[in-house]
Structure 1
Amino acid sequence: MSSSNSVTVQILDKEYSIICPPEERSNLVSAARYLDGKMREIRSSGKVIGADRIAVMAALNITHDLLHNQERPDVPAGGATREQVRDLLERVDQALADDQDSKKG
């Protein structure tokens, strides 16, 4: 994919470039904003220190909310939503791994 398919998002004061199909850009940006907000909430609580730990706690909280909403009968369970979240989490994992690799070298 070319760099024209790359979207730069900012999460907890760091920029991440993520390759994304044009039709998914707005969803990716929304997800990044949501994650950034959750991570900032956790950081501001002062109970969790370190970006990696904050990211894990945010992921756990978001996953908990997602699973809780799937269990509610009045909220339709969306297989597509689950797949989109899984795909976005894989992209974030890859971006974090790439960031760690760039710090080592």
Structure 2
Amino acid sequence: MSESRPPVNVLILGKEYPVVCPDNEEHELLLAARYLDGKMRKIRDTGRVIGTERIAVMAALNIAHELTQLRRENKELAGELGNRVSAMHDRIDSALNEE
């Protein structure tokens, strides 16, 4: 039988949430919780969104938007890198063929 792990307590908007995660992911979980807490506090502090659930949804949408942008940028950079590698490969082939 597998041992159940004790939960890691994360604090979001002043409320503790116990979350179980693998040993090697505890640090990332705490970073993610801190990031989410910051996003939610920023939204709450504007005073335009009321209610923890609505604040959480807005924070989730903002984070999803950031992720979408980063994925797009990553795809563009990967394409650019691929083009540069191809160009370097062509130059190397050309230089080797001249010899």
**Fold match, TM over 0.5?**
yes
Aligned to 1:2: 4
1:74 aligns with 2:77: yes
**Structure 1 residue 39: Cα displacement:** 0.1
In the alignment, structure 1 segments of 5+ residues that lack a partner are 77-105
1:64 aligns with 2:84: no
Aligned to 2:31: 30
One-letter identity of the residue aligned with 2:77? D
**Structure 1 residue 75: Cα displacement:** 6.9
TM-score by length of 2: 0.71
- Give me the whole-angstrom Cα distance separating, in 1, the residues matched to 2:39 and 2:66: 12
- Give me the whole-angstrom Cα distance separating, in 2, the residues matched to 1:36 and 1:64: 17
* RCO higher in structure (CA 8 A, sep ≥6): 1
**Root mean square deviation of aligned Cα:** 1.6
**Structure 1 residue 3: Cα displacement:** 4.3
Larger radius of gyration: 2
The answer to whether the 8 A contact 1:69-1:75 is kept is no
One-letter identity of the residue aligned with 1:74? L
**1:28-71 residue CA offsets vs partner (Å, 9 max, x unmatched):** 00000000000000000011000000000000000000001101
- Give me the whole-angstrom Cα distance separating, in 1, the residues matched to 2:66 and 2:27: 21
One-letter identity of the residue aligned with 1:43? R
Aligned to 2:85: none
Percent of aligned positions with the same letter in both sequences?
Answer: 53
- Give me the whole-angstrom Cα distance separating, in 1, the residues matched to 2:12 and 2:41: 9
2:42 counterpart SS class: helix
